[in-house]
Amino acid sequence: MKESTITLTGHEVTFGADEIIVSKTDVKGRIQYVNETFIKISGFTEDELLGQPHSIIRHPEMPRSVFKLLWDTIASGHEIFAYVKNLCKNGDHYWVFAHVTPTFDAQGKIVGYHSNRRSPDRVQVASYSDLYSQLLREEQKNSDWRQGMAAATALLQDIISQQGMSYEELIFSGINGDSRAPRRRAAAPERRPQ
Ligand SMILES: Cc1cc2nc3c(=O)[nH]c(=O)nc-3n(C[C@H](O)[C@H](O)[C@H](O)COP(=O)(O)O)c2cc1C
């Protein structure tokens, strides 16, 4: 993993409830498309983003175990929803509620990925911020990053089962069952071709 050299400002940028940040990638997570909102919020130009790994906007406080869960899920052909803290070019950050989906060709093979991000619920941002700090500490306790990630993944699974829910239920009912968390929209699921 390439660490970012951007200096963090600690300043959070927010965006409107009516805005959607969109990107599309190839199967390796290299950016193929970004919309105007992505460019505006991230502060990067389109030229700086296209062809780059999506980790160009990775915030160092985001645990690896969350991205492992994301990649394991989408590479197996499923969608995932996740709260993500992202980095702007100038060191500011922005939280998003992301929906990431695989894109299939006519044979049902994954040919890329797509992410739509909305402005997140503030109560959930506070909860996920705490959860991610906990996961990051678990990852960093271990000098071997693979073991650290395995320990954090196990901790995440523990937390999910303690809440008595699946990961997806946790996302939609919110950590600690906060009812103000975003509700699942009745969007048509992305389908593999028959
Ligand atoms: C469609 C798509 C969207 C993604 N969006 C983000 C994002 O907004 N922020 C982010 O840090 N990683 C995002 N990722 C995950 C990155 O590919 C990468 O796994 C992550 O930044 C961690 O970087 P690392 O794998 O180099 O540790 C996305 C991946 C895909 C396929």
Q: How far is the CA of 55 from the centre of ligand 1 (A)?
A: 5
pLDDT digits 0-9 by tens, 132-177: 999 999 999 988 988 999 999 999 889 888 888 888 888 877 766 5
Q: Which helix (H) or strand (E) holds 32?
A: strand 31-34
Ligand 1 nearest atom to the CA of residue 113, by list position: 1
Tokens of 47: 């030229």
Distance, CA of 9 to CA of 105 (rounded, Å): 41
The pTM of this model reads 0.89
* Domains, the chain: 21-175 (3.30.450.20)
Ligand 1 near 65 CB (within 6 A): no
Helix-then-strand count for the chain, H and E: 6, 5
Partnered with residue 58 across adjacent β-strands are 86
1 lines ligand 1 (CB under 6 A): yes
Q: Do residues 132 and 66 make contact, with C-beta atoms less than 8 angstroms apart?
A: yes
86 lines ligand 1 (CB under 6 A): yes
Please report how many Cα atoms fall inside a 13 Å half-sphere around the Cα of residue 29, on the Cβ side: 14
pLDDT digits (tens, 9 = 90+) for 74-129: 999 999 999 999 999 999 999 999 999 999 999 999 999 999 999 999 999 999 99
Q: Measured between alpha carbons, how far is 139 from 185 in angstroms, rounded to an integer?
A: 33
